[in-house]
Amino acid sequence: MIATLAVVVAGVSAFHRAVPNSPGRMGSLVESFLPWTGAVVVLLLVAALVRRSGVALVALLLPVAIWVQEFGGLLLPAPEPAPGGRELVVVQHNVSDENPDPEGTARALAASGADLIALEELVVPALSAYEDALGVRYPHHAVHGTVGLWSKYPISEDQLADIRPRGIEEGWSRGLRAVVRTPYGEVAAYVAHLPSVRIGAGGLASARRDESARALGALVRAEKVRTVILMGDLNSAVDDRGLAPLTSQLNVAERGFAFSFPTSFPVARIDQVLARSATVGHIRTLPATGSDHLPVAARVTVDATSP
């Protein structure tokens, strides 16, 4: 029985794209929690040791090998920054529209020393607190709807990024595009908050999120600035096929799990930093704020070929 389960886990891990997405978007649901197949393997290993089953132990080598191949690199330590490297540190945080301490959250984010800070769920009563606390270290910022970007470097242009799914009211505004003049050239910085998903008896309700991801993917594909950094609460893990319009054209983090949600017991990283013509070398979580998400910080190295 243990050996059979080991083979099943290995099959799901290696061929998760073959899991059908209908009904209930089961494929996306499985892919959202793929790293946790490692925990299943550990439980099976304990059971095999208790039963002293040699067959099960041998069978477990298969899912272990697949997990290491898919996720082992994320466990490696962060590489040392190269001398004179073209590196930007960015922070992504859904600050929560129910955050009881926006001032404290803003101070904590400012203390990170990041070059760029992207925020979601900015609401009018708290917006001034973020502007005041971040303004000293980040003199350049742009806000559209409930998302915002704070930068140490000048922002030459900014505009709404329309990622609104069909059927959503006109006032829904959860995306922005800004061009930041960094020491390494212009960077098109996108901040996005994709629609929420729900898990219920019918599976994963993610149709609107997937539609919004397609709209955002089209904007990135049409982007004229060579270097792109996308920061946002994408409401999914990068393995989820629902984010394929983005992950098919943007680099994901090479090291670090950085599970960011929920704060009480993080089970997935749904707060993402993705890039084009740049490498997201490492991503990590920062200490909890008053939000139900953990902030994530990423080191992004801009390609030397970028202007």
Q: Are residues 154 and 261 in the same domain?
A: yes
Q: Are residues 229 and 99 in the same domain?
A: yes
Q: What is the pLDDT of residues 35-60, one digit of tens each?
A: 999 999 999 999 999 988 899 999 99
Q: Are residues 164 and 62 in the same domain?
A: no
Q: What is the pLDDT of residues 63-113, one digit of tens each?
A: 999 999 999 999 988 877 766 779 999 999 999 999 999 999 999 999 999
Specify if 214 maps to a domain.
Answer: yes
Please say if the pLDDT value at position 195 is more than 90.
Answer: yes
CA neighbor of 306 nearest in space, from 227, 194, 238 = 227
Q: Is the pTM of this model over 0.75?
A: yes
C-beta of residue 280 within 8 angstroms of C-beta of residue 299: yes
Rounded Cα gap, residues 283 and 256, in angstroms: 5
Q: Are residues 239 and 140 in the same domain?
A: yes
Instruction: Bin 235: left if φ > 0, else alpha if -120 < ψ < 50, else beta.
Output: left
What is the C-alpha radius of gyration for the chain, rounded to an integer number of angstroms?
20
Please say if the pLDDT value at position 34 is more than 70.
Answer: yes
Specify if 199 maps to a domain.
Answer: yes
Quote the domain boundaries for residue 294. 87-302
Q: What is the pLDDT of residues 231-259, one digit of tens each?
A: 999 999 999 999 999 999 999 999 999 99
Q: Are residues 41 and 108 in the same domain?
A: no
For residue 41, which amino acid is it?
Answer: V
Specify if 56 maps to a domain.
Answer: yes
Q: Are residues 232 and 210 in the same domain?
A: yes
Specify if 307 maps to a domain.
Answer: no
Domains held by the chain: number: 2
